Amino acid sequence: MSEANEAGVRKPPRVTDTSLRDGSHPMRHQFTREQVRAVAQALDEAGVPVIEVTHGDGLAGSSIQYGFSRTPEMELIAEARSVCRRARIAALLLPGIGTVRELREAVEHGIQVVRIATQCTEADISEEHFEIAKKSGLEAVGFLMMAHMRPPAVLAEQAKLMESYGADCVYIVDSAGAMLPHDAYDRVKALKEALSIEVGFHAHNNLGLAMGNSLAALDAGVDQLDGCLRGLGAGAGNAPTELLAAVLEKLGLNPGLDVFKLMDAAEFIMAPIMPFQPIPDRDAISLGYAGVYSTFLLHARHAGERYHIDPRTILVELGRRKAVAGQEDWILDVALDLARQHEQEASV
């Protein structure tokens, strides 16, 4: 179907499972050691090569802004590491939230991969973090968040900066779940053409396209894909790891994942601990529709309840104000503005 296919370029992608990081959002950062141990062990046994474990907003994300962690993330990292025989543990780091101090601490607790994430226009704030990551012997992966907001050429420039800092791979991250398949394809393709390192794609399912976009990325030659068991991630969740495995297997591109073991892990380990099943419901679709950071979902619902405002109205307004990754504090601000506006309208 694609030129990549005809040219035989498609190869089995490496799959990173981020249930224990992106899944921290719907879990409201309440993962326990026992849960992390069980999930990490099941993923390891099913052949998942990289497992990301961190607060949902990355190292040092535990805060009022994003939600406090129930268990310190360093303990969760160590717990996951202790049960994995083959899988390597990754941590997420957002410069501006976490610093190289927490990165070094995470190395001591057993991470071997770090994913360094910036807003897709701000790659140049990550130079120091890549440098320290490489000096610490880590595999360093760049994450260009909210990548739907800029065209492929701009993303390629930003990705090249990360490459120059020492990145081993750069991801197109559809944080808002706002991309359509051709958006994912064009962005991955632009990076593949511009970079000599690997390229990854991280999907959100807000428009029901997490799998479709991952497949479009595959057509464009993507080297790494992300998944979560049962799709447990922010907003409507991510591409389900077990589903990715099954589909890759049918495409003849299974990178060595045990499809049945992943299906069992999703069904019997993840499903029972999930507070709810992320789906593209009314509010989640609004995230993708308005192009808003997926983690805003629960915060917007909370503010909506408190100030009697439709969460969708809040999310659409945040999209209009061009809020970017990590700006959860604007939700309260928007809710207060809208509540005041409603009051004024009511009094007229």
Partner 1 sequence: MPQEQRVKVAILGSGNIGTDLMYKLLKQPGHMELALLAGIIPESDGLARARSLGIAASAEGIKAVLEDPEIKIVFDATSAKAHIRHAKALRDAGRIAIDLTPAARGPYVVPPVNLGELADQTNVNMVTCGGQATVPMVHAVSRVTPVRYAEIVSTVASVSAGPGTRQNIDEFTDTTARSLEMLGKAREGKAIIILNPADPPILMRNTIYILPAGEFDEQAVRDSVLRMEAEVQEYVPGYHLKNPPVFENIETPWGRRPMVTLLLEVEGAGDYLPRYSGNLDIMTAAARRVGELVAQRLLKEQEVVA
Nearest-approach distance from CB 304 to partner 1, in angstroms: 14
* Candidate ranges 173-181, 215-223, 243-251, 333-341; the one touching partner 1 (CB under 8 A): 333-341
CB of 20 to partner 1, least distance (A): 20
**3-state secondary structure at position 19:** coil
> Terminus-to-terminus CA distance in the chain, angstroms?
59
295, β-bridge pairs: none
What gap in Å lies between CA 26 and CA 140, rounded to an integer?
26
Min dist. Cβ of residue 234 to partner 1 (A): 17
List the one residue out of 53, 74, 72, 52 whose CA is nearest residue 62. Answer: 72
Gap between the Cα atoms of 61 and 94, Å rounded: 9
The interface with partner 1 within residues 41-70 (CB under 8 A) comprises 63-65, 68
Q: In this complex, which beta carbon is closest to partner 1, that of residue 42 or of residue 93?
A: 93
Write the DSSP symbol of residue 30: -
Return the residue matching tokens 């939600």. 67
User: In the chain, which ranges are continuous DSSP H helix?
Assistant: 3-6, 33-45, 73-83, 100-108, 127-135, 152-165, 181-194, 210-219, 241-250, 259-264, 271-273, 282-290, 296-307, 311-320, 329-347
Choosing from 39, 287, 292, 324, the residue that interacts with partner 1 (CB under 8 A) is 324
CB 111 within 8 A of CB 138: yes
Please report whether residue 281 would count as binding partner 1 according to CB under 8 A. Answer: no
Q: Is 159 near partner 1 (CB under 8 A)?
A: no
Classify residue 86 by burial, with Cβ atoms within 10 Å: 0-12, 13-18, 19+: exposed
Question: Token pair for residue 49?
Answer: 């090569």
Pick the closer one to partner 1 by CB: 278 or 326: 326
Q: Does residue 301 touch partner 1 according to CB under 8 A?
A: no
Q: Does 32 bind partner 1 (CB under 8 A)?
A: no
Query: Residue 337 and residue 321: Cα distance in Å, rounded?
Result: 13
Q: Does 136 bind partner 1 (CB under 8 A)?
A: no
Give whichever of 31 and 330 is closer to partner 1, judged by the CB atom.
Answer: 330
The footprint of partner 1 on this chain (CB under 8 A) covers a number of residues equal to: 33
Give least dist CB 2 to partner 1, A.
32
336 lies in the site for partner 1, by CB under 8 A = yes
The residues in 94-133 that bind partner 1, with binding defined as CB under 8 A, are 95-97, 99-101, 119, 121-122, 124-125, 127-128
Whether 25 is catalytic is: yes
Please tell me whether residue 226 adopts helix, strand or coil conformation.
Answer: strand
Contact status: 323 vs partner 1 (CB under 8 A): yes
Instruction: Write down the least CB distance from residue 232 to partner 1, Å.
Output: 22
Of 167 and 323, which has the nearer Cβ to partner 1?
Answer: 323
Q: Which of 25, 29, 129, 202 is catalytic?
A: 25
One DSSP character per residue, 143-164 reads: EEETGGGS-HHHHHHHHHHHHH
Nearest distance, CB of residue 5 and partner 1, angstroms = 35
Active site residues: 25
Contact residues for partner 1, defined by CB under 8 A: 63-65, 68, 95-97, 99-101, 119, 121-122, 124-125, 127-128, 149, 306, 321-327, 329-330, 332-333, 336-337, 340
